[in-house]
Structure 1
Amino acid sequence: MTAVRRAVPAFVAALLLLGSAGRAGAAGYRYWSFWERGGGHWTYATQGPSFVRPDDGAVEGFRFAVSEDSADASRPRGTADFDTICAGTAAKSGTKRVAVVLDFGTPADAPSGETPPGRRTACARVASDATSADALAAVAKPLRYDTNALLCAIAGYPVKGCGEQVSAGGAAAPAKRPKETGTDSGPSLGLPLGASAVALLAAAAAWQARRRSARRKAE
């Protein structure tokens, strides 16, 4: 038991060191982030575009950039007003209109040898039950997805690559973001390691509590 008690904190410390080292050595991930607009500001979407069903009048944005996680992700730039973007698209029964903002990012965030197109907006008129992914497909083809359903390219940009990890020096590393889920947690390698460490700490605390309780009963 003494050996186990000593090993648990050591293992937890090792996990935390691995997590911090991984984050320190990487600038982030090069990927398309998904945003929803409300109250005059952008909010990082808590779900992937294939899970969101926006209402008529919604404004949604996609930004290509290198970001460490959802907390520091770059927002779409410029104005984003539904009345302006969809001014020429009349309402129609059985459909809805979604204003889409596409920000292809900066040259600094572009993969090697590629140049980002200029920012643009579009008004997607789609079926009333359509998802945000449907709205995007209506105005920004060709789209490219990987085998894990991660959105890799919008309007053909970038030509290659998909959510790759980028080192602090700007080079791409062979790592990818988690696949898209109903609750996109963002690209963070530190998160799984941190969660494991918390779980181990909780288990160690519970074991120590049971041990103290058993000792008191014995006395």
Structure 2
Amino acid sequence: MRFRRIAALLLAALFPLLNTGQAQAAGYRYWSFWERGGDAWTYATEGPATARPADGDVQGFRFSVSEDSQDASQPRGTADFATICADTPARDGRKRVALVIDFGTAPDAPSGETPPPARTACAQVAPDATTAEALAAVAKPLRYDTNALLCAISGYPHKGCGEQVSAERKPARESGEESGSGPSLGVVAGLAAVAVLGAAAGWQARRRRHD
């Protein structure tokens, strides 16, 4: 009876752990918007339609599949403002905004589409221009949905906008980025609990043989 109580308690604790993998959130395929300070990218706190970069700012866009801002892939490349805007002389009454446009990797691409190579551009726009206006100056055609969500840059992707991707189909992280490839805590704990149950069952069987 004592073994049965122990087994019941272990199974009760094990059940939610074994189901942890089933509760993985799905990802979404979309263009994320980033701001760069020094050598670091920061996920933008507002959309490109309202952000108003200053002259000399570096901003980026990355197309990928991610669950949220904590999981999103950053734009790749190390080009800074001086490099990106080297061939665009300063002009009175205009500002220059350096843009990094990363179309993502093949696993992130919608079915049947191939991402173009990542590129940079220097937009020279009015002093009060938004990031969206700077992007439109160098990367048309842009496509938005009815909720003003940015769906495509330079025509990529050709269709779709922020569509959901199941957890099973979510692309793996590229080399150098954090990955969820190792076993989850729930799986490890579950295997440990199964091992404990097996040992307890063996001990109980041996005890009965000796009684």
Q: Same fold, TM exceeding 0.5?
A: yes
1:153 lines up with 2:159 in the alignment = no
Deviation at 1:25, TM superposition (A): 4.8
Q: Check conservation: 1:26, 1:166, Cα contact below 8 A.
A: no
Distance 1:69 1:109 in 2: 15
The equivalent residue for 1:64 is 63
Decide whether the 8 Å contact of 2:144 with 2:152 is kept in 1. yes
Q: Which has the higher strand share?
A: 1
Structure 2: how far apart are the matches of 1:100 and 1:39? 14
Unaligned runs of 5+ in 2: 1-15, 171-211
CA distance in 1, matches of 2:71, 2:47: 17
> For residue 116 of structure 2, what is the aligned residue in structure 1?
117
User: 2: distance between equivalents of 1:123 and 1:133?
Assistant: 13
Which whole-Å deviations, capped at 9, do the CAs of 1:60-92 have from their partners, x for residues lacking one?
000000000001100000113000000010111
Q: Secondary structure at the match of 1:108?
A: helix
- Where 1:66 maps in the other structure, the secondary structure is strand
Deviation at 1:46, TM superposition (A): 0.3
Matched residue type, 1:131: T
Match runs of 1:74-85 below 5 Å? 74-85=73-84
- Deviation at 1:169? 2.7
CA shift digits 1:113-167 (9 cap, x unpaired) = 0000000000000001000000000010000000010000000000000001100
Assess if the C-alpha contact under 8 Å between 2:84 and 2:121 holds in 1.
Answer: yes
Paired with 1:167 and 1:96, the residues of 2 have a C-alpha distance of: 42
Matches within 5 A, 1:84-103: 84-103=83-102
User: 1:35 Cα deviation (Å)?
Assistant: 0.2
Report if aligned partners of 1:25, 1:167 keep a CA contact under 8 Å in 2: no
TM-score, L = length of structure 1? 0.66
Look up the SS of the partner of 1:54 in the other structure: coil
- Runs of 4 or more, structure 1, over 4 Å off, are none
8 Å Cα contact 1:64-1:103 kept in structure 2? yes
Measure how far apart 1:26 and its partner are. Answer: 4.1
CA distance in 2, matches of 1:80, 1:27: 32
Q: Give the drift of 1:168.
A: 1.7
- Give distance in 1, aligned partners of 2:75 and 2:98: 13
Contact 1:26–1:165 (CA under 8 A) maintained in structure 2: no
* TM-score, L = length of structure 2: 0.69
Instruction: Please name the residue that 1:73 is paired with.
Output: 72
- Corresponding residue for 1:44? 43
Letter in 2 for 1:41: A
CA contact (8 A) 1:32 1:65 kept: yes
Q: Which amino acid aligns with 2:84?
A: I
Residue 169 of structure 1: SS of its match in structure 2? helix
Percent of matched pairs sharing the same residue: 75
CA contact (8 A) 2:39 2:78 kept: no
Cα distance between partner residues in 1 of 2:34 and 2:79? 12
SS in 2 for 1:70: coil
Long gaps (5+) in structure 1: 1-16, 172-219
**Counterpart Cα distance in 2 of 1:118 and 1:92:** 29
